[in-house]
Amino acid sequence: MKKGRMMNHKPEVKGFFDERTSSVQYVVSDPATGSCAIIDPVLDYDEKSGATATLNADRILDYISEKGLKVEWILDTHPHADHFSAASYLKQKTGAPTAIGQHVVEVQSLWKEIYNWPDFPVGGAFWDRLFKVGDRFKVGSFEVQVLFSPGHTLASITYLIGDAAFIHDTLFMPDSGTARADFPGGSSKRLWASIQEILSLPDETRLFTGHDYQPGGREPLWESTVAEQKAKNPHIVGKTEAEFVSLRDARDKTLPMPKLILHALQVNIRGGRLPEPESNGQRYIKIPMNALSGAAWE
């Protein structure tokens, strides 16, 4: 990895926190050219009423308009289990291409079985590009590098843009530890390896996480550095791989499944596209019964 080349200038990063899902969405822009990328945008969904909205995505579009930015990419780090992706909606609004990591096909293959979708088209048809590990592309004058960061999911990737790494659900803020690794296809051992690659970046690298659960009721935070994580994250400091795996696995056994996982995956393995309307014009979410462990009473 040519770290020196990636660290030579700083993109501007704007985070947007979604209180309903504790998710962080990003606009990362190049001040020199006015070009930007949107990372991990949220399509609003109310599971109680079944209603969808574009409040989060429109807030991002308003910021882009106010700043006079041009959207070059709409990027997801992985197929999210706790919110719908707004990538499809934002492509309609901006015309920018969408992308995700190539291992999304493994997630599609796994979840098509869970949803009993024998005819589901596994592959990249729902995105404009599937990134491979080591791929490079541009956002303005910035060269972006793609790191493969599995563990939380089979398909998770990190975007390294200048001195900023968008690390999704690997490391959280130092007072919050690390992401869970017990979803279908997850692995705490693979998560450890992904975290070690991220922590091998220069100490001053800015790390932007995908969620913040506000421990102690503090204000939401989403930016740290490699140095801060190595010094303060209790899941990492002084831990061996075996100790981390034991800690992560034990912690995951106490966590219920995210309330939207069965809703969200059927949208997000389709690039944020909602189910097609049925003969009555209505769209329907399909919820498989007894497909996952982690019930609320366990």
Residue 1: the pLDDT is 45
Confidence label for 8 from pLDDT (cuts 50, 70 and 90): low
Average pLDDT over residues 58-87: 98
Question: What are the residue ranges of helices labelled H in the chain?
Answer: 3-6, 55-67, 87-94, 104-114, 188-199, 226-232, 241-252, 261-268
User: pLDDT tens across 139-185, in order?
Assistant: 999 999 999 999 999 999 999 999 999 999 999 999 999 999 999 99
Contact 225, 203 (CB under 8 A): yes
pLDDT given at position 128: 98
Task: Answer yes or no: are the C-beta atoms of 19 and 42 closer than 8 Å.
Answer: no
Mean pLDDT value across the chain: 95
Q: Please give the C-alpha separations between residue 165 and each of 13, 144, 237, 286, in angstroms, as whole numbers.
A: 11, 10, 20, 35
pLDDT tens across 211-259, in order? 999 999 999 999 999 999 999 999 999 999 999 999 999 999 999 999 9
Sorted by where each begins, the domain ranges of the chain are 8-268
Q: Is the pLDDT of residue 6 over 80?
A: no
pLDDT over 90 percentage in the chain:
95
Token pair for 275:
């189910």
Residues 6 or more apart from 236 whose CB is under 8 A from it? 171, 178, 195, 199, 229, 230, 244
The pLDDT score that the predictor gives to residue 5 is: 44
Question: Which CATH superfamily is 8-268 part of?
Answer: Ribonuclease Z/Hydroxyacylglutathione hydrolase-like (3.60.15.10)
